[in-house]
Structure 1
Amino acid sequence: MNHPPRIKPQYHQTQVKSLRLCQGCELPVDTFALEKGKNAYCPRCGTQLYRGGNPSLSGNLAIAVTCLLLFIPSHFFNFISIRLFGVMIPATLPHGVWTLMQEGFVMLALLIFFCSSIAPLILSASVVVAHVAVQQRAFRALKYSLALIQHLKVWVMIDVFLISVAISCFKLQDYSDIFVGPGLIGLVLLQVATVLLVTRVSVRRYWEEFMPERTLPMKNKTLHCHSCHLSQPEGEHCIRCHNPIHHRKPNSIQKTWAYLFAASIAIFPANFIPISILMTNGKRLEDTIFSGVAGLVKNGMPGIAAIIFIASIVVPVAKILGLSYILLAIKFKRSIFHRQRMIIYFVVKWIGRWSMMDLFVISIMMTLVDRGQILDFTPGFGAVAFGLVVIFTMLAAESLDPRLIWDNYKQPSNNRESINE
């Protein structure tokens, strides 16, 4: 894909040190006047350049170790139990995944287990490894651990799982007595610690501790590395982390269209094939996402119905339409509303994870409503299609390079801007 000529600013050596290219639109931004501890955003596209505060790496290590310790009570103690027809049925997170696998829904089980357990576990372990790598000057260990942190943040969904537990309780309250277990306390504490860890950890700060930017010789900055967030001269590999570096992600448009096309195909069976099957009093009740929402409204739970409707129907459709609009605007080189398209991009990246809520509810229901009981619950094949929609839309958002939005933006005469927010 041909791009318009890019401005390659040339500054004095004293100016180069305070210059940074925005990873969202590649605008050269002068951070010299930035107050210490303040958040910094690109004045053109709104991408966050620096995070306020200066959390210590030792604090990150302490929180990561806490997360690892909390995995034991949160995953192996009962987080909820129900009394169904006089029988106590406990639920643990791995039990729901295992039940899904036994029923033949292996892909669905692995997706749920990855987002609720594997991703948070690897993220926490990677922070520990990154801290040790910085102390021991282990370049390779630091490089791969920080790469894992950067790519796994979006897949950590313990908060979505907790909301799913609450929704499952509302759906089961008419059939059984519900009891909170000690595992739920572990899940809440793990969620608090994980959110704190994700908001504190900065890949750039680890690289700065390992190899500060001031130690690297640079006469100008025309490229920004998305792996270690170092703005640097033209080249094929980052001078700090040695990862391949590009002005634009290779084949970004093609990959995003491919993921969106696959998601658009999967969204039809996801909405029209039953996503869950409930056997009660000898009756087989098959629910699609739409009928499930209607059933919640009919049973006097409009709030829960609204949450499911937004997360399972509105969000996937909005992501497909939003990303398609951005791609079409790039294709036809629209020269207005760049900032609005950037806001759509930010929103699409943020809301995608909440679509997993319905799948988490299915996993919890599978654990609590065992087969062979008078009340029986099993997922339908619509759940598999819905899982594909979630995966493809999230991959589409991650594969799109936002800098493409700004390729036909008319650069002002003074392309260097200062920030202080």
Structure 2
Amino acid sequence: MLAEQQNLHTITQCQSCQSCQWPIEQVPLAKSENAHCPRCDRVVYEWRQVNLSGNLALAVTCLLLLVPAHFYNFISINLFGVAFSGSLISGVQALVSEGYVSLALLVVFCSSIAPLVLFTVTITAHIAIRYRQLKLLNRSLKLVRQMRHWVMIDVFLVSIAISCFKLQDYADISVDNGLFSLILLQILTVLLLSRINVEQYWDKWQQSEIYSTNSYTETSQNLIQCGNCYLTQETNHQCVRCHNELSRFRPHSLQRSWAYLMTAAIALIPANFIPISILFTNGKQIKDTIFSGVISLVNHDLLLIAIIIFIASILVPIIKILGIAYVLISISCRKTLYQRQCMKIYSILKWIGKWSMVDLFVISIMLTLVDRGQILNFTPGYGAVAFGVVIVCTMLSAESLDTRLIWNLKNRPTSENGIVNE
């Protein structure tokens, strides 16, 4: 009888931590409770009662709001008796007209394309579940994971405020309808991102309880989690739910992360020493690097804006490069003492990375508002291009890193069945 009870006890639903692959036995949670991994302290699963129909309504509303938010003017200025208005699209057009196509593409991607894709694929995920289209669901949810870190409407709103502070000494500023659309769009986007959960969509497609597995011991190597739908299952070549190839680690994760990080470190030098913006005023040409721009803001008694720019454009890129390098070196040297520390550093760096886009958004806003070629003229410098490379490469470096490698320092896997020796 005792043996039968023990045998029954071992047949439970297990779930692996997405960060460290530690097997967790699923237990019922009370309202608002979260289940944390005992090894890395990440939330493995949580009590949720999110209605997926609400996600669909939010996505459709955000998609409709993109039109006024992008094409309506968000701000107007009166510069030397001449009125100018700025919209999000006009800022991108101004960058293209100045010959900075790469910057224009980066700005339009983070402010327009990424949100558009996120809202669209959220809708297509619902369509895929409704009509049982596995390929469409796979592609939609992959894009949800990829795009959510590149949606930067909140950063753009902060950039509008900074631009207003910069121009307040030169012009009278007024708010237009487009700004209210942007604010409402940001509120709904935050609400959508807080609700959307890829695992919940996959459970809606097919409940994970269907694929019940035995309760594994903590040292068992026979448990693997799909990196696509997060179903924990026995080691196999293909996921039984989403049919994606199974692998304990993303192939060449360290190599890609190092490559992006080294590119960002090299680009950081011209980004800080080549002028990022050039202002013509009162017959004088003022070339500003990121640091001299901060000093100029301090001299104009804009201390708060100077602090924001200094943190976002100088401290954050440096801290992110050093922080990611520390995590990568810890993995390469197999340091097992500071694994939780590495995870916390990685989580913070991944969140703060997008705020470096503030300077580039400010440049696009200033270009569309300032009367170029007359009394006051504003144009970007080549330092802005290098700074854009720093932002993109640091974000890609963080995205490329498979955090499960942090917890796999003692026994490094060899290349087999798609599992690549890092």
Is this a same-fold pair by TM over 0.5? yes
- Three-state SS of the structure 1 residue aligned to 2:103 is helix
2:91 is equivalent to residue 90 of structure 1? no
Q: Bigger relative contact order, structure 1 or 2, given CA contacts below 8 A and separation 6+? A: 1
Cα distance in 1 between the residues matched to 2:239 and 2:284: 62
Consecutive unaligned residues of structure 1, counting only runs of 5 or more, are 1-10, 411-421
% of aligned pairs identical? 54
Give the aligned CA root-mean-square deviation in angstroms. 1.6
Q: How does 1:249-398 map to 2 (within 5 A)?
A: 249-398=250-399
- Three-state SS of the structure 2 residue aligned to 1:207 is helix
Letter of the structure 1 residue corresponding to residue 356 of structure 2: S
**TM-fit CA distance, 1:218:** 4.0
User: Greater shift after overlay, 295-304 or 219-228?
Assistant: 219-228
| Residues 114 and 333 (structure 1), Cα distance of their counterparts in 2 relative to 1, 3 Å cut | same
Cα distance in 2 between the residues matched to 1:287 and 1:110: 23
Cα distance in 2 between the residues matched to 1:190 and 1:12: 53
Q: TM-score, normalized by length of structure 2?
A: 0.92
Contact 2:30 2:47 in 1 (8 A): no
Cα distance in 1 between the residues matched to 2:266 and 2:244: 34
- Three-state SS of the structure 1 residue aligned to 2:158 is helix
**TM-fit CA distance, 1:211:** 1.2
User: Greater shift after overlay, 178-187 or 34-43?
Assistant: 34-43
Letter of the structure 2 residue corresponding to residue 151 of structure 1: Q
2:110 is equivalent to residue 138 of structure 1? no
- Three-state SS of the structure 2 residue aligned to 1:314 is helix
Contact 1:267 1:385 in 2 (8 A): yes
Partner of 1:173: 168
Question: Which residue among 204, 209, 214 is the counterpart of 1:214?
Answer: 209
**TM-fit CA distance, 1:276:** 0.3
| Residues 370 and 40 (structure 1), Cα distance of their counterparts in 2 relative to 1, 3 Å cut | farther
2:35 is equivalent to residue 49 of structure 1? no
- State the Cα deviation string for residues 364-415 of structure 1 (Å, max 9, x = none): 00110132221011100000000000000000001111111111369xxxxx
| Residues 356 and 33 (structure 1), Cα distance of their counterparts in 2 relative to 1, 3 Å cut | same
**TM-fit CA distance, 1:215:** 2.2
Partner of 1:4: none
Contact 2:227 2:247 in 1 (8 A): no
Contact 1:315 1:355 in 2 (8 A): yes
Cα distance in 2 between the residues matched to 1:30 and 1:131: 29
Cα distance in 2 between the residues matched to 1:339 and 1:244: 29
Question: Which residue among 105, 114, 126 is the counterpart of 1:110?
Answer: 105
Consecutive unaligned residues of structure 2, counting only runs of 5 or more, are 1-5, 217-221, 412-422
User: Greater shift after overlay, 260-269 or 218-227?
Assistant: 218-227
Letter of the structure 2 residue corresponding to residue 212 of structure 1: Q
Cα distance in 2 between the residues matched to 1:341 and 1:295: 36
| Residues 260 and 90 (structure 1), Cα distance of their counterparts in 2 relative to 1, 3 Å cut | same
- Three-state SS of the structure 2 residue aligned to 1:81 is strand
- Three-state SS of the structure 1 residue aligned to 2:148 is helix
Which portions of structure 1, spanning 4 or more consecutive aligned residues, are displaced by more than 6 angstroms?
A: none
Contact 2:277 2:381 in 1 (8 A): yes
- Three-state SS of the structure 2 residue aligned to 1:154 is coil
Cα distance in 2 between the residues matched to 1:177 and 1:116: 26
| Residues 14 and 69 (structure 1), Cα distance of their counterparts in 2 relative to 1, 3 Å cut | farther
Contact 2:13 2:213 in 1 (8 A): no
Letter of the structure 2 residue corresponding to residue 85 of structure 1: F
Letter of the structure 2 residue corresponding to residue 386 of structure 1: F
**TM-fit CA distance, 1:43:** 2.2
**TM-fit CA distance, 1:245:** 2.2
| Residues 317 and 82 (structure 1), Cα distance of their counterparts in 2 relative to 1, 3 Å cut | same
Question: Which residue among 178, 185, 192 is the counterpart of 1:190?
Answer: 185
**TM-fit CA distance, 1:205:** 0.7
**TM-fit CA distance, 1:228:** 1.0
| Residues 31 and 357 (structure 1), Cα distance of their counterparts in 2 relative to 1, 3 Å cut | same
**TM-fit CA distance, 1:46:** 2.2
Q: TM-score, normalized by length of structure 1?
A: 0.92
**TM-fit CA distance, 1:224:** 1.2
**TM-fit CA distance, 1:15:** 4.5
Partner of 1:227: 228
Contact 2:211 2:233 in 1 (8 A): no
Partner of 1:399: 400
Cα distance in 1 between the residues matched to 2:314 and 2:18: 31
Question: Which residue among 82, 98, 101 is the counterpart of 2:96?
Answer: 101
User: Greater shift after overlay, 81-90 or 132-141?
Assistant: 132-141
Partner of 1:149: 144
Cα distance in 1 between the residues matched to 2:286 and 2:166: 14
Q: How many residues align?
A: 400
User: Greater shift after overlay, 30-39 or 182-191?
Assistant: 30-39
Contact 2:277 2:287 in 1 (8 A): yes
